[in-house]
Structure 1
């Protein structure tokens, strides 16, 4: 897959004829996957190359700068590119969403970023919008394209009558409903980052942990304990373990500004500071609790570890 980055004003890049999937695709969930697969299918029917056109950063960061800090992603742009790459499309086009691009009329967007880039077929969800204030829709696209491209509208993808969307996944994630998140994504929710030095308290109570520095623009699950697996950079083995996301209320009277992600890997004794680690979330164990002291905390961690080990052993059998 070839990755192409565009910034307004963008002239034609002499691309081959393309059938593209249009969307923001945060998380690349099941609904997104259907749109992308349809673009690949149409490309095959038309005898052209397949592509995905997405945008970065999120429009809310540009259009509502006062709330930019509140915008959290299900997948960083690098992770999104990797996930889209797994689909097997030929091109990924990332358009920088800035004030000038946001000010394009629907007609200008179609002329400059679709027709002007040799796109001959567009696939998007039924609720996709384009152009200034989102005034362009899939219903208006035939008018704006003047018959110079064709289109396919993908109906909503639902689970138990609820539309699968990035918003519904975010809602489930902040509630700790990781099973629903994984179901809607069609894969395990993932966080990654470098292992940094922490308070080193875990090793003193028999449960050494790796503190993972996660990009603050990536949405973390609700505070609590999770069953996880992890890949450590330079190590091909996938480890099972237990992860805690939270504010360590047993040890801190004042709530820190951001939650800490720390992971205890089973049967693991390597020193991995400054090493990249990827954490895959399988199941929610319990919410964060303030214990009366270290002994009560240790007793609960032992129970949590036993529960997680049973969870993974049951999956193997």
Structure 2
């Protein structure tokens, strides 16, 4: 997949790219609804003898447009979004730098420069996609703005459980810790990428060594508590339990959230390794224990609960 980063204004000759079928959208999460749009663009490309393309934007428009809720944390930060789209075997990915100047483009200007100007011959977008200043362009105005230079497909609402599959819905579930409900929406478990860093190494002294993971701050982190997780280390997956919290038993004054993963049947030095945490099931809230023995007993119960979960959900 060829990745092209674009910003406004830019100079591109119309025929710098081959004729394209392009999916348009922000695609945070690249969830099952988004995948319908992207896969349709790929199918249209194959049927029409075109190259497949996806256009997305960075950062989230809410950051630039001064919305009440600024999405500075993502279901899929840009690097992960790129990786997932690449896995869908798309030929070109256009990442447009979203600025106030870009947001101020008239709908026709956006189409002229960022669609027709990229040699797009077929556009695919969701029914609720909008473009141009104040989102005045939409799938109903697209035929007018196309100047008959391209055809288009509109993807209808995609629902799961009588509710639209959306990034907003996924964000809500994430913030409620309902990680086990996400595969039906994402088509996969929610995951975060980070680096194993040195912690206080207290876990190994009580028989439960943990990997202290410094997760990319652009990710949405599930709420405080203990989770059944899998972690990818050096291309291998391991089951474990993860504590998200402030470690109140040991440090009542800590302000920084720590993410610590205890992996089962694992004994490797992985400091400095990039790892992926796959969030499966919320087990319990974080709590303060009266002493080490009580803490150890609870961690052992958490471990057994997680082991049972993974045995029941082998895949």
Tell me the TM-score normalised to structure 1 length.
0.94
Aligned match of 1:74: 75
Structure 2 stretches of 5 or more lacking a match? none
- Residue-pair matches, total: 313
Q: CA RMSD in A?
A: 1.7
Aligned match of 2:109: 108
Aligned match of 1:294: 292
Q: Is 1:138 the counterpart of 2:139 in the alignment?
A: yes
Aligned match of 1:12: 12
Q: Is 1:175 the counterpart of 2:176 in the alignment?
A: yes
CA distance in 1, matches of 2:244, 2:97: 32
Q: Is 1:191 the counterpart of 2:192 in the alignment?
A: yes
Shift of 1:282: 1.9
SS of the residue corresponding to residue 32 of structure 1 reads: helix
Contact 1:169/1:184 (8 A) holds in 2: yes
SS of the residue corresponding to residue 195 of structure 1 reads: strand
CA distance in 2, matches of 1:158, 1:18: 28
Aligned match of 1:84: 85
SS of the residue corresponding to residue 313 of structure 2 reads: helix
Q: Deviations over 1:46-98 (max 9, x none)?
A: 21111100011111112229965x62101111110010011111111111111
Contact 1:174/1:222 (8 A) holds in 2: yes
Contact 1:11/1:112 (8 A) holds in 2: no
CA distance in 1, matches of 2:199, 2:69: 30
Distance 1:43 1:78, change over 3 A: same
Aligned match of 1:44: 46
Aligned match of 1:259: 257
Aligned match of 1:311: 309
CA distance in 2, matches of 1:198, 1:66: 36
